[in-house]
Structure 1
Amino acid sequence: MVDKCCQVSFNGVCLFMLEVLKPHNLELFCVLAWSIWKDRNNLVHNDISKPLNELLEDASLYLAGFQRCRVINSAPTTKVSAPTSWSAPPTGELKLNVDAAVVEQADFFSTGGVIPNSNGVVLGAFCRRHFSSVSPFIAKGHAMRDGLLFAAENGWRIQMVETDALKVVSSVKTKCFSGLHDPGLLTGVAHTLARFGLANDGFSSWVESLPSWLSSFVCTDFLPV
């Protein structure tokens, strides 16, 4: 006689798990089920299958990424009114726009930045995730540092640095570049990059060619007048 529980459909199992599992365990069940199904398809169609330990490790990474994104999306953000035009740097000069994203009660933060020229053409963009807990002021200071290092690594000389943190701008006193306080203008793109960095591991950068999701923000913000 076949045990009736062996005849339960996967849909039935999912409905049962939905009722008995707590949210964090349900998330783990869903990710494990998806990982097993994906591995099964690879075995059937490509004759490739991962060892159990790799399968569990991949599932853990996917789950951690999902949970991190959920924290990011639920974090409070401050909305600002964007000005109607972009203030371009003088002809032949480059401007660095940076921002940072900090999530309360998290042990990480991220920075992001973009480097446009006087015509609004973006030479490069970056985002970096830092594994420490700092204040927004310190985070935006890191954003400026990361942006200047990114520019130097690509051989770009920055004449202007722009951010929405007045205190950070005020603390910058150098003959190499000028600091500008921007309460929300070009930091729309920089802020998007910083938020993207929260769900990204380590450092990511783009030179000359930007991903489509970022290009749409660039087209909206970088409109020379």
Structure 2
Amino acid sequence: MHLFLVLPSASSLKLNVDASAVPGLDFVGLGAVMRDDSGFVMGAMAKKVHGIYSPHLAECLAIRYGLQFAADSGLHVHTADSAHGGGSCSAIPCLVNGAAHALARHALALNFKRFWLEEIPYCISSIVVNGVCS
């Protein structure tokens, strides 16, 4: 079964987020990808946050920092998707959220936060180009 990213409606931006954790470590990795209605990556973020969080709270942090990144970049997000259900965001299968998940995993190895605007981070380029995951 192939799952595909659902793009936002015309003239809208969608934020896809994910969080990643490794048992025994006291931090989580957060990833966020913003796309326009044509699928173009408008921005991406990878951030490590210290602390031990439940999966639900880690996803909430990913949404929070993803929305903050969008606001700081002057972008207005209309929809947010997360691989963990809850709240008013859409819960989507992890396979569809591949780029955000890859950024969250990438963030685990970072000593600083990373942001990209109107470029595709190398660590998610194959996922984005294939168009299968967000």
TM-score by structure 2 length?
A: 0.91
Match of 2:94 in 1: 184
Q: Which amino acid letter does the alignment assign opposite residue 127 of structure 2? A: F
1:156 maps to 2:66? no
- Does structure 1 residue 96 correspond to structure 2 residue 49? no
**Aligned match of 1:208:** 118
Q: Secondary structure at the match of 1:110?
A: strand
- CA deviations 1:3-50 (Å, max 9, x no partner) are xxxxxxxxxxxxxxxxxxxxxxxxxxxxxxxxxxxxxxxxxxxxxxxx
Which whole-Å CA distance do the structure 1 matches of 2:102 and 2:132 have between them?
Answer: 14
Any idea what SS the aligned residue of 1:142 has? Answer: helix
1:209 CA drift (Å): 1.9
Where in structure 1 do 4 or more consecutive aligned residues deviate above 4 Å? none
Superposition deviation, residue 118 in structure 1:
0.7
Which residue of structure 2 lines up, in the alignment, with residue 124 of structure 1? 43
Post-superposition shift, 1:82? 4.9
Who wins on radius of gyration, i.e. which is larger?
Answer: 1
Q: Confirm or deny: 8 A CA contact 1:86 1:185 kept in the other structure.
A: no
**Structure 1, unaligned runs of 5 or more:** 1-80, 173-178
Q: Which runs of 5+ in 2 are unaligned?
A: none
Cα RMSD (Å) of the superposition? Answer: 1.6
Give the whole-Å Cα distance in 1 for the aligned partners of 2:68 and 2:37: 21
Q: CA deviation at 1:211?
A: 3.2
Kindly indicate which of the two structures has a greater share of residues assigned to helix. 1
Shift of 1:107: 0.8
Q: Is the 8 A contact 1:189 1:221 kept in 2?
A: no
- C-alpha separation between the residues in 2 aligned to 1:185 and 1:105? 25
2:82 partner letter: T
Q: Which amino acid letter does the alignment assign opposite residue 213 of structure 1?
A: C
Q: 1:106 aligns with which of 18, 25, 31?
A: 25
Higher RCO (C-alpha under 8 Å, 6+ residues apart): 2
Match of 2:104 in 1: 194
How far apart, in 1, do the equivalents of 2:2 and 2:18 lie? 15
Distance 1:141 1:82 in 2: 27
